[in-house]
């Protein structure tokens, strides 16, 4: 139980384009999901907390107009990286909260050329 999927697992895009990443809780409903960014050999950086049916809560320093989050259902949250630039290249990981525990997706490797 408590399986979270992410799609795509890997994406390469040109600078200036937008990329959408989906995060799904497969066997449970998640009122709250989280979006993280991870740099090589570094810890996780929380970008935002996604709440179903309401606006996401962004961490300080994260541009909400650049990283659009939508949590339209209890099993799906999406992160759209708008007008992507090479510095946005990273490993993006989502998690979904079930009770007191966060369960993580497998991550999405974004490369912006």
Partner 1 sequence: AQSVAQPEDQVNVAEGNPLTVKCTYSVSGNPYLFWYVQYPNRGLQFLLKYITGDNLVKGSYGFEAEFNKSQTSFHLKKPSALVSDSALYFCAVRARNAGNNRKLIWGLGTSLAVNP
Binding site for partner 1 (CB under 8 A): 2, 4, 6, 32, 34, 41-44, 46, 49, 57, 91, 93, 95, 97, 100-107, 109
Q: Least separation, in Å, of the C-beta of 16 and partner 1?
A: 26
Q: What is the DSSP string of 21-70?
A: EEEEESSS--SEEEEEEE-TT--EEEEEEEETTSPPEEPTT--TTTEEEE
Cβ closer to partner 1: 84 or 93? 93
If you search the block for the tokens 């259902």, which residue do you land on?
Answer: 73
Cβ closer to partner 1: 2 or 68? 2
Q: Least separation, in Å, of the C-beta of 108 and partner 1?
A: 9
Q: Least separation, in Å, of the C-beta of 1 and partner 1?
A: 11
Q: Which of helix, strand or coil describes residue 99?
A: coil
Cβ closer to partner 1: 57 or 89? 57
Cβ closer to partner 1: 52 or 80? 52
Q: Least separation, in Å, of the C-beta of 4 and partner 1?
A: 8
Tokens of 12: 């390469």
Tokens of 15: 């600078």
CB 34 within 8 A of CB 46: yes
């Amino acid at each position: 139980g408590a399986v979270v999927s992410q799609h795509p697992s890997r994406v390469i895009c040109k600078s200036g384009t937008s990329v959408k990443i989906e995060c799904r809780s497969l066997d449970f409903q998640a009122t709250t999901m989280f979006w993280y960014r991870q740099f090589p050999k570094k810890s996780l950086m929380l970008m935002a907390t996604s709440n179903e049916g309401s606006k996401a809560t962004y961490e300080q320093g994260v541009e909400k107009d650049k990283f659009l989050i939508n949590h339209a259902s209890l099993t799906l949250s999406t992160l759209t990286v708008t007008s992507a630039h090479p510095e946005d290249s990273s490993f993006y990981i989502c998690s979904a909260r079930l009770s007191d525990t966060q369960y993580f997706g497998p991550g999405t490797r974004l490369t912006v050329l």
